[in-house]
Amino acid sequence: MRQVVMHGPGNVRVEDREDPKIVEPTDAIIRLSATCICGSDLWPYRGAEPVDHQVMGHEYVGVVEEVGSDVRNVKVGDFVVGSFWASDNTCEICQAGYQAYCVHRVLMGTIGTQSERARIPLADGTLVATPGMPDPDLIPSLMAASDVLGTGWFAAVAAQAGPGKTVAVVGDGAVGLLGILAARQLGAERIIAFSRHTDRQALAKEFGATDIVEERGDDGVARVKDLTDGLGAHSVIEAVGTQEAMMQAIHSTRPGGHVGFVGVSHDVAIPGDELFMAGVHIHGGPAPVRQYLPELVQLIWDRKIDPGKVFDLTLPLDRAAEGYRAMDQRTATKVLLTV
Amino acid sequence: MRQVVMHGPGNVRVEDREDPKIVEPTDAIIRLSATCICGSDLWPYRGAEPVDHQVMGHEYVGVVEEVGSDVRNVKVGDFVVGSFWASDNTCEICQAGYQAYCVHRVLMGTIGTQSERARIPLADGTLVATPGMPDPDLIPSLMAASDVLGTGWFAAVAAQAGPGKTVAVVGDGAVGLLGILAARQLGAERIIAFSRHTDRQALAKEFGATDIVEERGDDGVARVKDLTDGLGAHSVIEAVGTQEAMMQAIHSTRPGGHVGFVGVSHDVAIPGDELFMAGVHIHGGPAPVRQYLPELVQLIWDRKIDPGKVFDLTLPLDRAAEGYRAMDQRTATKVLLTV
């Protein structure tokens, strides 16, 4: 089968690799319908994380081709969506809604889903079948549910976005934009998007943003304060992962408010005294997407949300290198790879 | 009147100062029945915070002697308890339960309550009257409500201590010990106290601790994991304020669990990547004690809790310097000053 391999920073190739096989009786093999490139894939691409001949990709939708002898919840022929963490969905941590920390979790990035087929561990806990075979135009949105939508949703939940709340969103990448969509779905009254890119501002507004702030850092914080009677937002989503973004998020939040952070932290250190004086709640990390998948799949199936709009470039798997380049150069927000 | 002044690190004196006067029509003047020395008073005492001829103290109980023309909720003769932040209790932040961040807040430490009398700003919002004149043996517990009990209570609430939960408490000072009492009152199933002092261990158990862990740092974390099926505690209280204590708290918490931190942070920096991977909630800062005062005063009045037990040394105000020395040398956990 064809599979994306990153040989080193900036060096992405699509190669012939062996087809995956059932290893554990709880595994399933899927044939992918689509996969995509994640903002987090850019860290090794840019040399900010080590990489050496690594299979890539952790997002996936597709059709079940084979199941292990212990698999009960999905069957051959099902169209399925799963998260970037495989999880049993039965352990105490999963039952508490934190499937990204399942005691048996497997990181799908170590398996690599930018490929024609993939082995999915813990298939019963990991995969959610759609009500039937989806219309082709639903594929991008279902694909988004696998990570960026689920992650944006978690960020909005962690930030306690809801009725009567003012939500601010730091980061206008796919996750930030879908954090806006999530905040809107969760009933937020006002949504402030930090963005200085015209096209992303437009999508932010389409997803529910009511205000756009182009300033960053302290100036951005001051604008949010201006918009909130000097108090700050109730809920702030941090979807970048840098020091500036994290501090912008904390300082944009009113005392007692909530920061939901999902940007993969790189060289971030939160000063204890600033956190102490801010009086905010902070929660984040790898999103327990599995918790939200049944609800998100249904919203997409019922065409109530259209998160697939974050994909602004679609390429066949064999042209993955172009997709990485486009995201690295920010000529694309999010790249869908068809298989 | 007599009042404590810290001339410099380690140099505490009790001096004659002018009696306080009503300044704003929302002020009240109280004659203190008792005051106390806070763990945070040790930071300047030890030279870890700058100090130069500063009035000291922010905890107080006493009798109202005079009220400004706008004061409605308390009257001359009332026995009252207040928090270390004066607050209007009506602004949007107060109404959300975050009185320590009231838009009109006044830090009582700038007024100094280690004194015979004190001016209390925003008296209507700040002060809570007891149902009548308390029996003398209730004074220490009412005194504790002013800060250490309210702070421990907030930490337990921030850590979401409650039924079915395992709570771990980092710090065996007065706040940590009262965090144990609070967790017990909130219904926690199991309470793990980190402590290596025999007398504090005994009080921890009396307040509700079910397990004592003497190890610190990574060893302490490993012991908590051993006690919780490898998962970590649901709720962890951080009542110290150092880097080691904060990281011990974060790493002792299971994914999805809650850290409530109330130790005044000194040279703490939380690594973003560790926080990201831990998947915990963090919330803390100066406690909005005022939120809990009516409930805490009633529990004390009804003799359902006895937080005054944290005071293991009682001295008259004029001997305050001895009290500072005892707390600095850890021969006392918490010092009550009678006025």
Question: How close A37 gets to chain B, by Cα (Å)?
Answer: 21
Rounded Cα distance, B216 and B307, in Å: 26
pLDDT averaged over every residue in chain B? 97
Domain ranges of chain A: 2-147+288-338, 153-284
**Chain A CA closest to residue B276:** A285
> In this structure, how many other beta carbons lie within 10 angstroms of the beta carbon of residue B302?
9
> Which pLDDT score, from 0 to 100, does residue A71 have?
98
CATH ID of A153-284, from 3.30.1600.10, 3.40.50.300, 3.40.50.20, 3.40.50.720: 3.40.50.720
Contact B261 A276 (CB under 8 A): yes
> Which pLDDT score, from 0 to 100, does residue B313 have?
97
- Judge if B2-147+288-338 and B152-284 fold alike in CATH terms: no
Residue B266 has pLDDT above 90, yes or no: no
Contact A100 B279 (CB under 8 A): yes
Residue A197 has pLDDT above 90, yes or no: yes
The domain made up of B2-147+288-338 has a fold known as Quinone Oxidoreductase; Chain A, domain 1 (3.90.180)
Q: In 3-state terms, what secondary structure has residue A137? A: helix
> Which pLDDT score, from 0 to 100, does residue B264 have?
84
Q: B305-336: per-residue pLDDT in tens?
A: 999 999 999 999 999 999 999 999 999 999 99
Rounded Cα distance, A148 and A141, in Å: 10
ipTM of the complex: 0.94
Question: How close A99 gets to chain B, by Cα (Å)?
Answer: 9
pLDDT over 90, % of chain A: 97
Contact B96 A256 (CB under 8 A): yes
**Chain A CA closest to residue B271:** A269
Q: In 3-state terms, what secondary structure has residue B152? A: helix
Residue B228 has pLDDT above 90, yes or no: yes
CATH superfamily of B152-284: NAD(P)-binding Rossmann-like Domain (3.40.50.720)
Give residue A265's pLDDT band: very low, low, confident or very high (50, 70, 90): confident
Question: How close A281 gets to chain B, by Cα (Å)?
Answer: 4
Q: Which residues of A touch B (CB under 8 A)?
A: 92-93, 96-98, 100-101, 103, 229-231, 241, 243, 246, 254-256, 261, 264-273, 275-286, 288
Contact B265 A246 (CB under 8 A): no
Give residue A264's pLDDT band: very low, low, confident or very high (50, 70, 90): confident
Q: B101-155: per-residue pLDDT in tens?
A: 999 999 999 999 999 999 999 999 999 999 999 999 999 999 999 999 999 999 9
The mean-pLDDT minimum among B165-169, B195-199, B263-267 falls in B263-267
Q: B271-292: per-residue pLDDT in tens?
A: 999 999 999 999 999 999 999 9
Phi and psi at residue B68, to the nearest 5°: -70, 170
Contact B282 A284 (CB under 8 A): no
> Which pLDDT score, from 0 to 100, does residue A263 have?
87
Residue A266 has pLDDT above 90, yes or no: no
Contact A272 B268 (CB under 8 A): yes
State the count of interchain CB pairs (< 8 A) between A and B. 120
- To test the contact with chain A by mutation, choose from B94, B99, B101 the residue with the greatest count of A C-beta atoms within 10 A, namely B101
> Which pLDDT score, from 0 to 100, does residue A55 have?
97
> Which pLDDT score, from 0 to 100, does residue B263 have?
87
Q: Which residues of B touch A269 (CB under 8 A)?
A: 269-272
- To test the contact with chain B by mutation, choose from A103, A165, A253, A268 the residue with the greatest count of B C-beta atoms within 10 A, namely A268
Mean pLDDT of all residues in B171-178: 96
